[in-house]
């Protein structure tokens, strides 16, 4: 299995406006730091084979085994709009690309994770950079079980552990960028409503007991504004707009 992210290989795979310009480095601290140049256009992409200080959400680190992951950042200039929704736009694009390549169902775990068989195979990190947004996407592609972090809130997986084979990261990146561009354009034109059916079909948390901050209950749909609906014990529904989801278990159908 070739897995080539170098510019000459990616140039032949790119199908849309995202990915131009394409900044490729064998190693960096974080691809998020490569898109700070304010003159770069929307759709600029930075990719590395390995990060020495990869960043996750909420101040966590993002570990990779060199050449096993897709580590990319995409520069977006959304202007106005609800920025936390972009996390869902990117997660959906990633889930769709994973499905396209692997033929396995992928789910979006609100607000930013992509799961296959309950294991986290990808995460999204949004950061503001001046007036722009840098969307960082990390996908575990070729790692064997023993190469994945052992202690994570959601068990970690890779496309290889999910499907038993390797994938070309350049092909995955090209698919992901096409999906992201399409989803982003739809979102910019019509808001999250344009993506809600696809998101809801992949909602990993529907019917699951969760705790988000001080709100506990059974998760329902992703709300029109991008928050998570939680049915609380009193029977009412609370929408949480951000936070860390603690999963307490799924709900029996007879309950």
Q: In what order do the strands lie in the sheet with 113-116?
A: 22-28, 45-51, 69-76, 132-140, 119-129, 113-116, 107-109
Closest CA to 144 of 93, 204, 90, 69: 69
Q: Does 140 bind ligand BTN (CB under 6 A)?
A: no
Q: Does 56 bind ligand BTN (CB under 6 A)?
A: yes
Omega within 30 of 0 (cis) for the link into 6: no
What gap in Å lies between CA 89 and CA 186, rounded to an integer?
A: 10
Residues of this chain, 70-99, that bind ligand BTN according to CB under 6 A: 71-73
User: Which window, 123-131, 147-155, 217-225, 247-255, contacts ligand BTN (CB under 6 A)?
Assistant: 123-131
Interface pick for ligand BTN out of 76, 125, 171, 195 (rule CB under 6 A): 125
- What is the size of the binding site for ligand BTN (CB under 6 A)? 21
Residue of 111, 138, 206, 226 that binds ligand BTN (CB under 6 A):
138
Distance CA 25, CA 11 (A): 15
Q: How far is the CB of 155 from ligand BTN (least distance, A)?
A: 13
Nearer to ligand BTN, 87 or 102 (CB): 87
| Strand positions, DSSP E, 37-168 | 45-51, 69-76, 107-109, 113-116, 119-129, 132-140
Work out the widest C-alpha separation in the chain, in whole angstroms.
58
123 part of the interface to ligand BTN, by CB under 6 A: yes
Q: Which is nearer to ligand BTN, 31 or 102 (CB)?
A: 31
Q: Is 31 in the site for ligand BTN (CB under 6 A)?
A: yes
**Contact at 8 Å (CB) between 104 and 116?**
yes
Binding residues (CB under 6 A) for ligand BTN: these are: 30-32, 51, 54-57, 60, 62, 71-73, 112-113, 123-125, 136-138
């Amino acid at each position: 299995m070739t897995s080539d992210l170098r510019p000459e290989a990616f140039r032949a795979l790119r199908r849309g406006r995202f990915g131009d310009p394409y900044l490729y480095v064998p190693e960096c601290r974080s691809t998020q730091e490569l898109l700070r140049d304010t003159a770069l256009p929307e759709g600029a992409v930075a990719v590395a084979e390995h990060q020495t200080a990869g960043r996750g959400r909420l101040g966590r680190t993002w570990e990779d085994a060199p050449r096993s992951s897709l580590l990319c950042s995409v520069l977006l200039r959304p202007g106005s709009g609800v920025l936390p929704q972009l996390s869902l736009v990117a997660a959906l694009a990633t889930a769709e690309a994973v499905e396209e390549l692997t033929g396995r169902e992928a789910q979006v775990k609100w607000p930013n994770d992509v799961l296959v068989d309950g294991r986290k195979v990808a995460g999204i990190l949004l950061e503001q950079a001046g007036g722009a947004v840098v969307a960082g996407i990390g996908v575990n592609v070729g790692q064997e079980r023993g190469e994945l972090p052992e202690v994570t809130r959601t068990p970690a997986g890779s496309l290889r552990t999910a499907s038993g084979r390797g994938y070309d990261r350049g092909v995955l990146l090209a698919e992901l960028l096409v999906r992201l561009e399409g989803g982003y354009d739809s979102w910019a034109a019509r808001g999250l409503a344009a993506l809600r059916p696809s998101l809801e079909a992949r909602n990993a948390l529907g019917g699951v007991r969760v705790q988000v901050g001080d709100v506990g209950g059974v998760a329902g749909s992703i709300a029109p504004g991008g928050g998570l609906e939680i049915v609380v014990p009193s029977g009412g529904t609370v929408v949480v707009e951000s936070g860390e989801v603690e999963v307490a278990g799924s709900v029996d159908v007879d309950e």
